[in-house]
Amino acid sequence: MTTPTPPLKPAGRGRNLELPEHLKSYKGVWVFIEHDRGQVHSVSWELMGEARKLADKLGVQVAGVVMGGPDEKLDDFAKEAYAYGADSCYVMRDPVLKGYRNEPFTKGMTDLVNQYQPEILLLGATTMGRDLAGSVATTLGTGLTADCTELNIDGTTRALAATRPTFGGSLLCTIMTLAYRPQMATMRPRTAPMPRRDDSRTGSITEATLGMVETDIVTKLLDFIPDANRNTVNLAYADVIVSGGKGLKNPDNFKLVWDLARVLGAEVGATRPVVQAGWVEAERQVGQTGKTVRPKLYIAAGISGAIQHRVGMESSDVIVAINTDANAPIFDFAHFGIVGNALQVLPALTKAFEARLAKQIRKVA
C-alpha cells in the first residue's frame, strides 16, 4: 500500500506575521555605544545617525546604551551620543562591566530591553558587536539581521527593513522581523556616513543597575596585551584607495596598483579572488567578506564590479573604474570610467600624477 504524499504548504503559511498585542508597546530606537580604553568606536556614531533617520520616520525617540566600569567616562560618552542624535541614554555602571565580556553585557542589555522595551536595537558589526548581538537576540528570542548595508522603515508595516547581501554576495535581500521585538540589526563600520555633530544638543540619562557579582561570571578578564605585530593597514578610513582585481592577470602586474598608490599616498585594496590567490593579505580585501570603505577617491583597476565587491565600496565619494570590458557592471555605478587595459592605464596615471604633484611642489617651493 502506497502512502499518499501530503500536499506542500505554501511558503510562509502557518507563520505568525502579525505583531502580538503585548509587543505593540515597544517604542524607540536604541544604539549600543561600543567603547574600549576610553574611546567610542566610530561605528556607534554612524549608527546613531541611522537611528535618528529611522526614529524620525517612526515619530519616536533615539536612545544610546552605555555600559562600563564605575571609573570609565560613561557620562562623557552619553554627551557625545546627544551630539550625534540621541535624545537620551541608558547608563549601566558596574565593576564587572569594565572590559567586555559576553555574559554580563548580555544580561545588562537584555534586562534593559525587557524593562524599557525598544522596538529597534542597532549594534556595530565589530568583534564585540557581533558577539553581543547574537547572544542578546538568542536570549530575547527575537530576529537579528547581520552585516546590513541599508536600514529603512517599511511604509506599510512600520517594521525595520534591513538590507544585506546574500548567496555569497550575489544578491541583496531585505529582511523584516514582523512578529517579534525588538528588531535587531548590525551594520559594519563605514557602511553609513558619520552624522553631523551638534554639541548644542542635550538629553536625559537613566541610570540602571546590573545585579551581578564577579563570582557569577565564568569568563575572567586577566590582562590586556596589545598586538605589537598587528598589521597597520587602515583601509576602512583611508581617503584614497587604489584597488586591483583578477583582471590584472598575475601578482607581478598587481605591483602597478602599489606604484599608483605610493604616488597618491593611498591605501591598496583588492577583491576577494585576489586575496584568495594570495596576491595580497586579507586585511586589504574590500567587499561583503572584507572591509567596507568610504574614501574620497576609489580607483578600481581590473575589477568587474560584482555585488560582493560593490557593497563594500559603492559609498565612495568618487569611483574611477578601469576595465577592458565596456559592459562590466562596475561602469553602472562608477562616476568615471576608462575602457582600456589596466596594465597600460595604471602606469600612465602614475606618471601623470607624479608630474602633476612634482609641479605643485615646485610652485610651493
pLDDT in tens, 230-245: 557 789 899 999 999 9
Same domain? For 30 and 146 the reply is: yes
In this predicted model, what pLDDT tens digit does every residue of 243-296 receive, in sequence order? 999 999 999 999 999 999 999 999 999 999 999 999 999 999 999 889 999 999
Is 174 marked within a binding site? Answer: no
Is 307 marked within a binding site? Answer: yes
Q: How many residues does the chain have?
A: 365
Better pLDDT: 224 or 323: 323
Same domain? For 174 and 267 the reply is: no
Q: Tally the domains of the chain.
A: 2
Q: Is residue 295 part of a domain?
A: yes
Same domain? For 212 and 241 the reply is: no
Same domain? For 207 and 344 the reply is: no
Same domain? For 199 and 257 the reply is: no
The mean predicted confidence, pLDDT, of the chain is: 92
At a CB cut-off of 8 Å and minimum separation 6, what does 67 contact?
74, 91, 92, 93, 94, 97, 105, 108, 109
| Residue 46 domain boundaries | 21-216
Same domain? For 207 and 249 the reply is: no
pLDDT at 229 over 60: no
**Band (300; pLDDT cuts 50, 70, 90):** very high
Is 323 marked within a binding site? Answer: yes
pLDDT at 325 over 80: yes
Same domain? For 241 and 185 the reply is: no
Is 3 exposed, middle or buried (CB count within 10 Å of its CB: 0-12, 13-18, 19+)? Answer: exposed
Same domain? For 178 and 299 the reply is: no
Amino acid at 219: T
Q: Is residue 261 part of a domain?
A: yes
Is 287 marked within a binding site? Answer: yes
The percentage of the chain sitting over the pLDDT mark of 70, rounded to a whole number, equals: 92
Same domain? For 249 and 296 the reply is: yes
Phi, psi of 152 (to 5 degrees): -150, 175
Same domain? For 191 and 327 the reply is: no
Question: Residue 5: what pLDDT?
Answer: 54
Is 302 marked within a binding site? Answer: yes
pLDDT at 121 over 80: yes
Is 303 marked within a binding site? Answer: yes
Is 316 marked within a binding site? Answer: no
Same domain? For 253 and 189 the reply is: no
* 88: CATH: 3.40.50.620
Q: Is residue 212 part of a domain?
A: yes
Is 305 marked within a binding site? Answer: yes
Same domain? For 210 and 249 the reply is: no
Show which of 188, 216, 244 is a domain's final residue: 216
Q: Is residue 353 part of a domain?
A: yes
* 182: preceding bond cis by omega (within 30 degrees): yes
